[in-house]
Structure 1
Amino acid sequence: MKSLLKITCLVALFAATAGTLQAQKFGYVNSAAILAEMPEVKQADANLEALQKQLQKKGQSMLEQLQQDYGALQQKVQSGDLSPKQQEEEAQKLQKREQEIAAFEQDMRKQVSDKREELLGPIYEKVNQAIKDVAEENGFQFIFDQNVLLYAEDSQNVNDLVKAKLAN
């Protein structure tokens, strides 16, 4: 009798678990494709590219000037216009400028990264909010990104719903 009671309890537990799993609704989106189609992302990318080119141009100019100054120093050294102490001082100045250029390059990467976050952060939040709204409005418990799925049925693709939400 006890074993029959245990089996009945287990069957009831499995039935309850199966019912819960069937009640859950899953969907997926291709967030990269959605972002690629958004005009805001294209504009942000153009702004980032312009900033990056501007900073690279400045860095290239600094590097070219350093190379010219290094060449001029070599000529002065070869012609004997500088004493050993002056050579050392000039070499230290050039090393300091090399360090400044390296610091500028690091700062340039940081500026581009910060600008990327400033421009794209609100867009990402907008897309995430649209996905959340679609999930709540359509009874989805989970919406996954397509890039992490090994298999998905096309009927569970909610890209069009998210795009429609973003268009509003």
Structure 2
Amino acid sequence: MKALRYSLLVLTLVLLLAPAALAQKFGYVDSEFVMGKMPAYAQAQQELNTLSQNWQKDIEAQKQDLDKMYRTYRAEEVLLTEAQKKKRQDEITKKEQDVRAYQNKIFGYEGQLFKKRQELTRPVQDQVFEAIEKVAKKKQLAIVFDKSGDLTMLYTNPVHDYTEFVLEELGLASSDRNQPAQPGATRTVTPPQTPAGSPDTEPSAPQAAPTRTRPSGRP
């Protein structure tokens, strides 16, 4: 990310300082808007949401099992020997660790959801970037910025907006040109919480692992 921003800074300086660079044509495209118009992208987002919801149900079921284990332990605690208490506490701790590990495996950085998002959205991204390349060559553009990327565009002159040309290249141009599309959202889960009043030997509840809601950038 830092390398990208540094490259953009250098590029901006070149455009501002070099007369030859100022003579080059440039434009920008809103790739997120374009992908929002593509049926394949909407289908990918729907599949991701379905997978995410199913994985969430799995974690909720594991949380219920953990809660049941703890409630049973509390109800029987007075009848247990110290060795039996220690064994039950270890079982609860192990269950907590298993739930946390499963959550990280699914929703953690580069977890299954992240990998599945890349798998489903990369073909769509490839189509978009191929169309952008074709438009750039047809319009003789030396530079094409992505309005929906990390580059902050404080002002954009519509004369440099080539988003509609990219949509035309993909066969998606319509009369409602440049109307923002609704981005697909991927639901995440609430991390499993340790039941109130759990034994001191139990670890604290896992923290929610970060997930990406937007498709990964250009491969």
TM above 0.5, yes or no, is yes
* Superposition deviation, residue 68 in structure 1: 0.7
Partner of 2:181: none
Counterpart for residue 131 of structure 1: 132
Pairs aligned (count)? 149
- Alignment match, 1:106: 104
TM-score (norm 1): 0.82
Q: Does the residue aligned with 1:144 lie in a helix, a strand or coil?
A: strand
Matched, 1:91 2:95: no
> Per the alignment, in what secondary structure is the counterpart of residue 41 of structure 1?
helix
Separation in 2 of the partners of 1:100 and 1:124? 35
The 5 A counterparts of 1:52-71 are 52-71=52-71
How far apart, CA to CA, are the structure 1 residues paired with 2:90 and 2:84? 10
Deviation readout 1:42-80 (Å, 9 max, x if unpaired): 1111101100110010010011011011101111113x1
CA distance in 2, matches of 1:70, 1:23: 71
Q: What are the superposed Cα offsets for residues 71-112 of structure 1, whole Å, 9 maximum, x if unpaired?
A: 01111113x1x2110110111011011100000000111111
Deviation at residue 150 of structure 1 after TM alignment: 2.6
- Which residue of structure 2 lines up, in the alignment, with residue 156 of structure 1? 160
Q: 2:52 corresponds to which letter in structure 1? A: Q
Q: In structure 2, what is the Cα distance between the partners aligned to 1:76 and 1:22?
A: 78
Shift of 1:153: 2.1
CA distance, structure 2, for counterparts of residue 100 and residue 92 of structure 1: 12
Q: Give the structure with the larger helix fraction.
A: 1
Partner AA of 2:155 in structure 1: Y
- What is the percent sequence identity of the aligned residues? 28
> Unaligned stretches of 5+ in structure 2?
1-17, 173-219
Matched, 1:32 2:36: no
* C-alpha RMSD of the superposition: 1.6
Unaligned 5+ segments in structure 1 are 1-16
Give the TM-score normalised by the residue count of structure 2: 0.64
Structure number with higher relative contact order (C-alpha < 8 Å, ≥ 6 residues apart): 1
Whole-angstrom CA distance in 1 between matches of 2:154 and 2:136: 21
Determine which structure has more spread, i.e. the larger CA radius of gyration.
1
Aligned pairs for 1:64-79 (under 5 A) are 64-78=64-78
Provide the rounded CA distance (Å) in 1 between the counterparts of 2:43 and 2:137. Answer: 30
**Structure 2: how far apart are the matches of 1:56 and 1:21?**
51
